[in-house]
Amino acid sequence: MTIADTEEKRTVLQAKGLTKVYRTGEVEVHALRGIDLDLAEGELAVLLGPSGSGKSTLLNILGGLDTPTEGRLFFRGEELEGHDDRALTAYRRDHVGFVFQFYNLIPSLTARENVALVTEIARAPMDPAEALGLVGLEERLDHFPAQLSGGEQQRVAIARAIAKQPDVLLCDEPTGALDSETGILVLEAIESVNRRLGTTTALITHNRSIGGMADRVVSFADGRIVETWHNAQRQPARALSW
């Protein structure tokens, strides 16, 4: 195996020159203006930036929910064909887990059943109870969403996202709707999944404090990466405050 092969294996996701222009009538919005970003195996990256800086647009493209106007995306060295819906669907289904600000659980299904919806169609799923255990909800398997707190519902959403054992976990403002104490529990769940399963994780936030838990922080402004730094040591989510 050559050094180049090894490097390629260590990079899970690679974005090159991504741009995104939204056109609404006469109006053009340049949401991304040339993003180069690699996510390494097992890394926890925090994508930081103010509202409107393009973070969600980037996350959606990295996860195959949207396509760039220009630029290329590689998953484990293979290019994802931007306009081939089937390839993107297969990539999303087999390799990507999403967590959004709002949990999108099905109210009439229990925590376990919400997770099972995904494990039933996944290639190598874990048991829903095991996934819920990983986020600290082993005592809540048969609760309905209405019987769970916001933070617990978000942890069910994380369990649902990771139960198919995705290569990449993409989290868009996962603590945006939560108070800080509850938010930290949710971040601990993400941290634990990243450490125990080695899932490459990208977490979007506008909250600078959350950057402390990352291996690397990538800071955005106006559709561009303006700064990147590595933390010499990751702070445990439990030690964060805001």
| Residues of the shown chain interacting with ligand ATP in the complex, contacts defined by CB under 6 A | 22, 24, 29, 31, 49, 51-57, 206
Residue with tokens 């989510």: 237
Nearer residue to ligand ATP within complex by CB, 42 or 52? 52
Residue 215 per-residue DSSP state: S
Nearer residue to ligand ATP within complex by CB, 199 or 205? 205
DSSP 24-73: ETTEEEEEEEEEEEEEETT-EEEEE--TTSSHHHHHHHHTTSS--SEEEE
Nearer residue to ligand ATP within complex by CB, 16 or 33? 33
In a 10 Å sphere around its CB, with 0-12 CB exposed, 13-18 middle and 19+ buried, how is residue 138 labelled?
A: exposed
CB of 171 to ligand ATP, least distance (A): 12
CB of 67 to ligand ATP, least distance (A): 12
CB of 54 to ligand ATP, least distance (A): 4
CB of 15 to ligand ATP, least distance (A): 14
Nearest to 153 by CA among 100, 99, 111: 111
Nearer residue to ligand ATP within complex by CB, 55 or 164? 55
